[in-house]
Amino acid sequence: MNTADLGLPVEVPSTALFTDQYELTMLQAALKAGTAGRRSVFEVFTRRLPHGRRYGVVAGTGRVLDAVENFRFDPDVLGFLGERAIVDEETLEWLAGYRFTGDIWGYPEGEVYFPGSPILRVEGTFAECVLLETVILSILNHDSAIAAAASRMSSAAGDRPLIEMGARRTHELAAVASARAAYVGGFSSTSDLAAGFRYGIPTVGTSAHAFTLLHDRERDAFRAQVDSMGRGTTLLVDTYDVAEAVRTAVEVAGPGLGAVRIDSGDLLLVAHRVRQQLDELGATQTRIIVTSDLDEYAIASLAAAPVDAYGVGTQLVTGSGHPTCSMVYKLVARAGSADPGAPLVPVAKRSTGGKTSIGGRKWAARRLDEQGVAEAEVIGTGAVPGALAERQLLVELIKAGEVVAREPLDTVRERHVRVRENLPLSATQLSRGEPVLPTEYARGD
């Protein structure tokens, strides 16, 4: 059972304090000013991709839906806010009944995005929308960064499976989110059991060097593991001497040994030597798994090596050098009064230093060339041009406060594969370059 599909709570009873204090002080001031009820539109976007990246990957949308559902100010949370005098009594009373009742549209999870893409659009009153800023950005910035790194690694790996094993290199809750994002980006399994339990991701794992060192002889360690897990297990062969370990592993498990893992040394050279040795010993079907601080570049360098799978940890859970996507959450339109029928007025930040934004409630579409390959990300306000009507990217995620688009994680993972295949071939090149699709701005009639 995939527990994520059931809409179960996230790891804490409430997500309401996953926010910055100024969200609440803005709420208090807006309540006093009478502007809190103005209909508003906020959008999540990034002004630029991380340096050298050709595309971004939308990940964390499912977790955002969970977070919005669980954004509740329970008595303990309200007590904390009151004791610290963070907001006044009027605001506490308003927060006690908080439920998001607006609409959220966004790029479906697993989609790719580019600078300016309206990845998420949150609509409702100013009061109910402004409170969600921090938790939404926290999730999307983290998960999308991990998924982008995972996507690059899975492109480099080709048909060879990737194992996520970075739990010990990040915060314990971030590790679960990282495993989920990595799965979206193309990884096939995780070593993190919490991620397997929470999201139904396949889990794997056998032994570390400590297990070999525990025993008097390497042979004893291998024998104990094979007796416990069967001949199809994976034996770690680089604790002492690799060649001797491979020989011993085949003697203990026989030619039906499932796999050997190499975790150190010149992986390209060692993999060739191990493959030759395994074949000479008759273990022609025994797979070779490599680990050891891999990133997309290291994986690409092993493309010609006799490697069957990769295990990736540190570089994955840190976004392979880009641990955030620099997404922002900006007010782009608001009504001139609290009247539900009041028209929306575009608003935008105007400042120096590249932090400007474009006002107006936006749509997004991806234009294709004659061969059906994506050629541009088109973003606009107003009516959508007829030629792009069938290529719109945003889908409804929450309607009147109710989640309407929760998806199984495998559906999201499969979507990303399809979307990536529809990009120009240069999208999967690891060489640094500009976004593979240009962003064009259009205003509908």
DSSP-assigned letters across all residues of 387-429: GGGGGB--EEEEETTEE-----HHHHHHHHHHHHHTS-GGGG-
As a whole number, the mean pLDDT across the chain is: 94
Say if residues 95 and 14 touch (Cβ distance below 8 Å). Answer: no
pLDDT, tens digit, for every residue of 10-49?
A: 345 689 999 999 999 999 999 999 999 999 999 999 999 9
b/e burial code for range 78-90 (CB count within 10 A of at least 16 → b): beebeeeeebeee
Torsions phi, psi for 397 (to 5 deg):
-110, -40
**Residue 137 exposure: Cα atoms within 13 Å on the Cβ side:** 20
Say if residues 161 and 189 touch (Cβ distance below 8 Å). Answer: yes
pLDDT range class, residue 404, cuts 50, 70, 90 = very high
For 30-145, where are the E strands, in sequence order?
A: 39-46, 56-57, 103-106, 112-113, 120-125
| pLDDT(3) > 60 | no
**Vertex 49: Cα angle to 53 and 138 (nearest 5):** 120
Say if residues 313 and 126 touch (Cβ distance below 8 Å). Answer: no
- Among residues 135, 137, 112, 174, the alpha carbon closest in space to that of 316 is found at 174
pLDDT range class, residue 349, cuts 50, 70, 90 = confident
Token couple for 267: 């992986």
pLDDT, tens digit, for every residue of 170-229?
A: 999 999 999 999 999 999 999 999 999 999 999 999 999 999 999 999 999 999 999 999
Amino acid at position 278, single letter: L
| pLDDT(400) > 90 | yes
| pLDDT(402) > 90 | yes
Say if residues 269 and 238 touch (Cβ distance below 8 Å). Answer: no
pLDDT, tens digit, for every residue of 81-126?
A: 999 999 999 999 999 999 999 999 999 999 999 999 999 999 999 9
| pLDDT(357) > 90 | no
- Among residues 138, 143, 90, 154, the alpha carbon closest in space to that of 113 is found at 143
Say if residues 356 and 48 touch (Cβ distance below 8 Å). Answer: no
Q: What is the pLDDT of residue 10?
A: 39
For 24-150, where are the E strands, in sequence order?
A: 39-46, 56-57, 103-106, 112-113, 120-125
| pLDDT(442) > 90 | no
User: What is the model's pTM?
Assistant: 0.93
State the Cα–Cα distance between residues 218 and 240, nearest whole angstrom. 8
State the Cα–Cα distance between residues 378 and 388, nearest whole angstrom. 9
b/e burial code for range 417-443 (CB count within 10 A of at least 16 → b): eebbeebeeebbebeeeebbbeeeeee
Q: How many residues does the chain have?
A: 445
pLDDT, tens digit, for every residue of 264-318?
A: 999 999 999 999 999 999 999 999 999 999 999 999 999 999 999 999 999 999 9
With H, G, I as helix, E, B as strand and everything else as coil, classify residue 17: coil
State the Cα–Cα distance between residues 333 and 362, nearest whole angstrom. 10
State the Cα–Cα distance between residues 394 and 391, nearest whole angstrom. 10
State the Cα–Cα distance between residues 358 and 355, nearest whole angstrom. 10
Q: Exposed, middle or buried by CB within 10 Å (0-12, 13-18, 19+), for 296?
A: buried
Say if residues 310 and 298 touch (Cβ distance below 8 Å). Answer: no
